[in-house]
């Protein structure tokens, strides 16, 4: 029996709704597999914790998380707390503190889900976006001076280091190499940003030499939005900076049908620290408490977590169950269905356990 210690941080908005659905599905998988066990400890950190204590998580938060096998995260953000406080108070300190430098975001059109792209069918859009997750535009460098005066200045400095760029390129080339098409697109903006982004391109070309079997090309980020929309079949693995991939992966989620199906994994490839798995979406204030949040993104990221833990079979069973339930039309309203979060979750649990019986 393999036991995995999972730290759940449901946090804000629909986070608790989709994480509790995900835990139900994980426990069903454990029951079906018979040889794995999940011990889930929930941390009630987030915006309510901030309102009570003035911080999003305790000062020793990372120390409390460090010995877990993985972190299962919901979403942060509350209407009455500034977004930079919530993000920089919880999610980013975990990503940066645990050096989860590879942010991996798979996207494909699941059966039964309609893409807003007229011609897109399952199989035509099947991407993995690799986002640099430790530096770039979100490194936190910059500042403000002369606050409130006419001469006030604000700077937001993008940091690109040879170490940071080389390791994410290497990760992306390896991932591309492991996929059937062995195809990588490096997203850049080196026409307008002539320092860090030119170094980014140069390092991509250097790393490419170690992967002669991977075909790769380079795309300006603005042109990339056009290619994603008009020629989705021409893409496979994609690597981009922290900001560029943040934006492109929301577009990817929407093109695959809804933000509610898009997962993400914040990986420490060297496995020094726990990696963190979460849906891409935020707190979704407009649907919080209505019971209609799409839990598919939180199921898919749970499958990424299982893969990271080496439980490939459980991950495959989970994704097959999700696809079967979507194909049967049991879906939440954001993807055109009428089902509630609970009904989708129960259908996935039943499908997983049904296989055990057959």
Ligand X SMILES: NC(=O)c1ccc[n+]([C@@H]2O[C@H](COP(=O)([O-])OP(=O)(O)OC[C@H]3O[C@@H](n4cnc5c(N)ncnc54)[C@H](O)[C@@H]3O)[C@@H](O)[C@H]2O)c1
Least Å distance between CB 90 and ligand X?
A: 8
Alpha-carbon distance of 98 to 101, in angstroms, equals 9
User: Among 112, 196, 282, 337, which residue sits at the site for ligand X (rule: CB under 6 A)?
Assistant: 282
Residues 285-314, interacting with ligand X (CB under 6 A): 285-287, 293-294, 297
Quick one: tokens of 114? 């309609």
Site map 142..161 versus ligand X, x via CB under 6 A: --------------------
Least Å distance between CB 266 and ligand X?
A: 10
Is 260 a binding residue for ligand X by CB under 6 A? The answer is yes
Give the burial string for 318-341 (b: 16+ CB within 10 Å, else e): bbebbbbbbeeebbbbbbebebbb
Is 60 a binding residue for ligand X by CB under 6 A? The answer is no
User: Among 29, 125, 259, 319, which residue sits at the site for ligand X (rule: CB under 6 A)?
Assistant: 259
User: Among 7, 29, 65, 75, which residue sits at the site for ligand X (rule: CB under 6 A)?
Assistant: 75
User: Among 219, 284, 306, 352, which residue sits at the site for ligand X (rule: CB under 6 A)?
Assistant: 284
Least Å distance between CB 40 and ligand X?
A: 19
In sign, the C-alpha dihedral spanning 23, 324, 251, 215 is positive
# of chain residues touching ligand X (CB under 6 A): 21
Quick one: tokens of 309? 């833990």
Alpha-carbon distance of 261 to 253, in angstroms, equals 7
Q: Which span (92-100, 110-118, 164-172, 284-292) binds ligand X, by CB under 6 A?
A: 284-292
User: Among 6, 89, 91, 184, which residue sits at the site for ligand X (rule: CB under 6 A)?
Assistant: 91
Q: DSSP states of 171-232 as a string?
A: HHHHHHHHSTT-EEEEEE-TTT--SHHHHHHHHHHHHHTT-TTSEEEEEEHHHHHHHHHH-G
Quick one: tokens of 340? 């509630």
User: Among 245, 281, 299, 326, which residue sits at the site for ligand X (rule: CB under 6 A)?
Assistant: 281
Least Å distance between CB 235 and ligand X?
A: 23
Least Å distance between CB 279 and ligand X?
A: 6
In sign, the C-alpha dihedral spanning 288, 294, 297, 300 is positive
Measured CA to CA in angstroms, residue 22 lies from 48, 151, 166, 208 at distances of: 22, 50, 34, 38
Least Å distance between CB 225 and ligand X?
A: 18
Q: Which stretches does DSSP call E strand in the chain?
A: 2-11, 36-42, 70-75, 102-108, 126-132, 136-145, 153-159, 183-188, 215-220, 237-240, 263-267, 275-279
Is 83 a binding residue for ligand X by CB under 6 A? The answer is yes
User: Among 107, 241, 283, 324, which residue sits at the site for ligand X (rule: CB under 6 A)?
Assistant: 283
Least Å distance between CB 300 and ligand X?
A: 11
Site map 311..350 versus ligand X, x via CB under 6 A: ---------------------x-x----------------
Given the rule CB under 6 A, which residues bind ligand X?
14, 18, 75-77, 83, 91, 259-260, 281-287, 293-294, 297, 332, 334
């Amino acid at each position: 029996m393999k036991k995995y210690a999972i730290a759940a941080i449901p946090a804000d908005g629909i986070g608790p709704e989709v994480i509790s659905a995900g835990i139900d599905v994980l426990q069903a998988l454990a029951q079906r597999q018979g040889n794995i066990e999940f011990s889930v400890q929930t941390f009630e950190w987030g915006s309510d914790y901030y309102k009570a204590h003035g911080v999003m998580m305790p000062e020793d938060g990372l120390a409390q998380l460090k010995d877990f096998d993985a972190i299962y995260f919901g979403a942060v953000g509350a209407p009455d707390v500034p977004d930079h406080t919530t993000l920089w108070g919880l999610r980013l300190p975990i990503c940066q503190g645990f050096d989860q430098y590879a942010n991996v975001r798979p996207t494909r059109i699941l059966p039964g889900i309609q893409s807003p792209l007229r011609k897109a069918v399952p199989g035509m859009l099947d991407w993995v976006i690799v986002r640099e997750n430790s530096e770039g535009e979100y490194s936190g460098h910059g500042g403000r001076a002369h606050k409130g005066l006419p001469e006030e200045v604000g700077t937001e400095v993008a940091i690109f280091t040879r170490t940071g760029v080389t390791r994410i390129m290497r990760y992306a080339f390896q991932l591309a190499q492991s996929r059937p098409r062995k195809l990588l697109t490096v997203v850049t903006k080196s026409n307008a940003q002539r320092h860090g982004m030119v170094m980014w391109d140069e390092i991509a070309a250097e790393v490419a030499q170690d992967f002669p079997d991977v075909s790769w090309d380079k795309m300006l980020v603005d042109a990339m939005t056009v290619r994603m929309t008009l020629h989705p079949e021409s893409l496979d693995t994609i690597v981009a900076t922290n900001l560029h991939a943040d934006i492109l992966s929301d577009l990817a989620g929407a093109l695959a049908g809804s933000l509610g199906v898009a997962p993400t994994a914040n990986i420490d490839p060297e496995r020094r620290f726990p990696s963190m798995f979460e849906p891409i979406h935020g707190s979704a204030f407009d649907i919080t408490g209505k019971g209609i949040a799409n839990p598919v993104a939180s199921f898919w990221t749970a499958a990424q977590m299982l893969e990271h833990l080496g439980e490939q079979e459980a991950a495959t069973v989970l994704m097959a169950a999700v696809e079967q339930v979507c194909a049967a039309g049991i879906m939440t309203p954001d993807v055109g269905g009428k089902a509630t979060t609970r009904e989708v979750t129960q259908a996935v649990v039943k499908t997983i356990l049904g296989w055990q019986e057959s």
